[in-house]
Structure 1
Amino acid sequence: MIESWRWFGPEDPISLQDVRQTGAVGIVTALHDQPNGVVWPREAIRTRREMIEQAGLTWQVVESIPVHEDIKSAASGWERLAQNWAETVKLLAQEGVRTICYNFMPVLDWTRTDLECLLPDGATALRFEFPAYAAFDLFVLKREGAIADYTLEDVEAAERWLADKSDEDVKRLTDTIIAGLPGSEESYTLDQFKERLEAYKGIDREQLFQNLQNFLEIVIPAADEAGAVLAIHPDDPPRPIFGLPRIVSNLEDLHRIKAMHPSVSNGFTVCSGSLGVHADNDLPKIVGELGERVHFMHLRATRREEDPRSFYEDNHLEGDVDMIAVLRVVRCLERELGKEIPMRPDHGHRRLHDLQETSTPGYPAIGRLRGLAELRGAIKAIDHFENP
């Protein structure tokens, strides 16, 4: 596997020289300064690539070219935006960057309710707490019709959560959900968030699947022509939120997307943490069945709580993900395909000096370094015992 590291560009508090010291050889990044929907200038792509190469690294994966909300909702003019997306794929490929991770989650990218959940060892983790999410939906956002999505017990739990929190706690929750987490495509005010949700009224799972297929019919031929591969990322969390449909949450969804276009470039990012939130998702089976369509791996572990809709980010070899089994299947797949698949340690706990340093939420230096070191050791052990 190609050890890679997510880097948020020149403004990232973790420098490329820092990344060199982790042992990673690849960079996963994007031109985060480019507005959604535009064609990325080739000169800007080249400048970023050269910056990475001058640091002794390679730009392995683009994460992400944002898919404009008008594409996802099939709003007027979405075709032009899809053509812009396809043109950016071609320009990236011309600069040697040929793996593109993207997502098709409506309105929000990955969602958490707490960015600093204190763990017993003093480190902090990202967490999704269902009662906090429900309290925001029901009593802060006050989404029309939201009550229908909850049981009486859910509402009571949300009320208890809210009763125990200060105004500052509620503001922090609001900012965490709608202000945009790292890599998210959009950030919103509360009113803007309501407006964006309104744009998806009448769009159910079937319609969102159709919108994705229409998008792929435009961008897959461009990827094939350029020699690039596309890797859709699973929903995070892998279930509907705020009344929005989700279509990349389980193996059935993944097979349906796979069937949308026969090209191998119509592929997947397998995120063990996102998919691992669902107890029914068998990660080794998912990797095995997607086979040559697996173009990128996000390796992290989540741990479900007593209410399995709540979870937090655990250490990379712990939690509910059987990471060793996942790694064994990926290594077997690589041998079959005769190539290495880029991976990155996804998320990490803030620990040690991370706690005193500024870092992007979910992307501290030491927490991810620990994860990468553990994953590297596990892979070497698998290779030693299976191919002595």
Structure 2
Amino acid sequence: MRHTWRWFGPVDKVTVRDAAQAGAEGIVSALHHVPTGAAWTLDEIRKRQDEIRVGGLSWDVVESVPVSEDIKTQTGEWRSHIANWQETLRRLSTCGIRTVCYNFMPVLDWTRTDLHWETRHGAKAMRFDLADFAAFDIHILTRPDAGADYPEWLAEDAAKRFIEMPGEKITALGRNIGAGLPGSADGYTLDQLLEKLRSYKNVDRIRLQQNLVDFLSQVTPVAEEVGINICAHGDDPPWPLLGLPRILSTEADYAHMLTQVDSRANGVTLCTGSLGARPDNDLPIIAKRFAERIHFVHLRNVTRDTDTLPCSFFEDEHLEGGTDMVAVIAALLTEEKRRRVEGREDHRIPMRPDHGQEILGDLTRGAQPGYPAIGRLKGLAELRGIERALLHSHYGMA
């Protein structure tokens, strides 16, 4: 695999040189300052490439070109936003970039209730606490009829949790849950979040699935034409939130998307952490089933408090948690070998160590939540070790 590292641009407290020293071969980045729905300019793309080259690496993967809420709901400026998405693909291709990740999560990107939860050994990790989230939804956001979306026992736990919740935690929940895309300056106040939720009043799961297919039907031909692989990141967490539908949460969801727009250019960002938060997702099986259409990989692990759905979970160390990382990497290396035999130029699948716990110097660095330097370095080293062992001639995967 090609080992990459997410970098949020010059504002990132973890530098490109840090990534190179950690063992990364390429960078995953985006133009977070460009408004969602606008086309990226050649000048801005090349400027970011130059910023990365100064650090000694190349810009390998875009994560992400945001998909606007207008596109997801097919309202407002959605047609012009799709046209701008197509034009952005053309310009990225002109600059030599061949992989573009995106997601189709309505309103919220990945959602956590705690960005600095303390683990058993004092590291800090991101956590999704189901009772805290329900307390936010029912008692802080006060979404109409929110209580009906939770079982009685959970609604009762949420009420008790809210009564005992200090003011600073209430503020932190609103900030953490209402955050925008990682790296962006966007975010929602409670009133803005409620307004966004109302915009999905007539968008159920079936409608959102069809809107994704409509979007892909228009952008995939452009991706094919310019030699770019686009790849959808899964829902995180992989179940409905705040009354919003989720459509990329399971193996069946991905199978539907790939079947409806059956082109190799239309593919998967395999995120073992996002899908791994569901006990019914078997990540090694999913990696094998969709191997030919996997264009980008996020390797991380989560530990679930229970095997119920939904559940609380936290971001564990990369080789811990519920996902068999050795089996996943073995499936990906098998696919890479098949691609080499086939003669595919994209035989090396870009992978990055996703998220990571804050350890050692990370605890005072103040980096982007989920993206510490040393925690990701540790994860990348562990993942590279698995890959190197599996590729040893004794095991026959080289």
TM range (shorter): over 0.9
Q: Look up the SS of the partner of 2:38 in the other structure.
A: coil
Equivalent residue number for residue 328 of structure 2 = 326
Deviation at 1:186, TM superposition (A): 4.2
Deviation at 1:331, TM superposition (A): 0.5
Kept in 2: contact 1:64–1:183 (CA 8 A): no
Kept in 2: contact 1:59–1:97 (CA 8 A): yes
Amino acid at match of 1:320: G
Deviation at 1:8, TM superposition (A): 0.1
2:227 pairs with 1:227:
yes
Task: Pick which of 72-81 and 191-200 moved more.
Answer: 72-81
Q: Residues of 1 paired with 2:291 and 2:116: CA distance?
A: 36
Equivalent residue number for residue 19 of structure 1 = 19
Q: CA-to-partner distance for each residue in 1:294-348, whole Å, 9 max, x for gaps? A: 0000000000003741000000000001100100000001101111100000000
2:201 pairs with 1:193:
no
Kept in 1: contact 2:208–2:245 (CA 8 A): yes
2:379 pairs with 1:371:
yes
Task: Find the partner of 2:354 among 346, 349, 353.
Answer: 346
Q: CA-to-partner distance for each residue in 1:26-46, whole Å, 9 max, x for gaps? A: 100001111111110101101
2:216 pairs with 1:208:
no
Unaligned runs of 5+ residues in structure 1 are none
Equivalent residue number for residue 102 of structure 1 = 102
Q: Taking every aligned residue pair, what percent have the same amino acid on both sides? A: 49
Q: Residues of 2 paired with 1:186 and 1:244: CA distance?
A: 19
Deviation at 1:287, TM superposition (A): 1.1
Structure 1 stretches of at least 4 aligned residues deviating more than 6 Å after TM superposition: none
Q: Residues of 2 paired with 1:184 and 1:293: CA distance?
A: 28
| Alignment RMSD (CA, Å) | 1.2
Task: Find the partner of 1:312 among 293, 314, 332.
Answer: 314
Q: How does 1:45-56 map to 2 (within 5 A)?
A: 45-56=45-56
Q: Residues of 1 paired with 2:148 and 2:120: CA distance?
A: 36
Deviation at 1:50, TM superposition (A): 2.2
Kept in 1: contact 2:138–2:146 (CA 8 A): yes
Q: Residues of 1 paired with 2:352 and 2:296: CA distance?
A: 8
Equivalent residue number for residue 344 of structure 2 = none
Task: Pick which of 74-83 and 22-31 moved more.
Answer: 74-83
Deviation at 1:179, TM superposition (A): 2.8
2:30 pairs with 1:30:
yes
Could you say if the C-alpha distance between residues 367 and 181 of structure 1 is closer, same or farther in structure 2, counting changes exceeding 3 Å? Answer: farther
Deviation at 1:51, TM superposition (A): 2.2
Q: How does 1:61-100 map to 2 (within 5 A)?
A: 61-100=61-100
Kept in 1: contact 2:108–2:179 (CA 8 A): no
* TM-score, scaled relative to structure 2: 0.95
Kept in 2: contact 1:66–1:185 (CA 8 A): no
Q: Residues of 2 paired with 1:180 and 1:54: CA distance?
A: 29
Task: Pick which of 81-90 and 185-194 moved more.
Answer: 185-194
2:395 pairs with 1:386:
yes
Q: Residues of 1 paired with 2:113 and 2:229: CA distance?
A: 33
Kept in 2: contact 1:109–1:184 (CA 8 A): no
Amino acid at match of 1:347: H
Q: Look up the SS of the partner of 1:115 in the other structure.
A: strand
Could you say if the C-alpha distance between residues 356 and 169 of structure 1 is closer, same or farther in structure 2, counting changes exceeding 3 Å? Answer: same
Q: CA-to-partner distance for each residue in 1:68-87, whole Å, 9 max, x for gaps? A: 11000110331110010110
Equivalent residue number for residue 10 of structure 1 = 10
Equivalent residue number for residue 135 of structure 2 = 135
Q: How does 1:257-296 map to 2 (within 5 A)?
A: 257-296=257-296
Q: Residues of 2 paired with 1:185 and 1:147: CA distance?
A: 31
Kept in 2: contact 1:72–1:208 (CA 8 A): yes
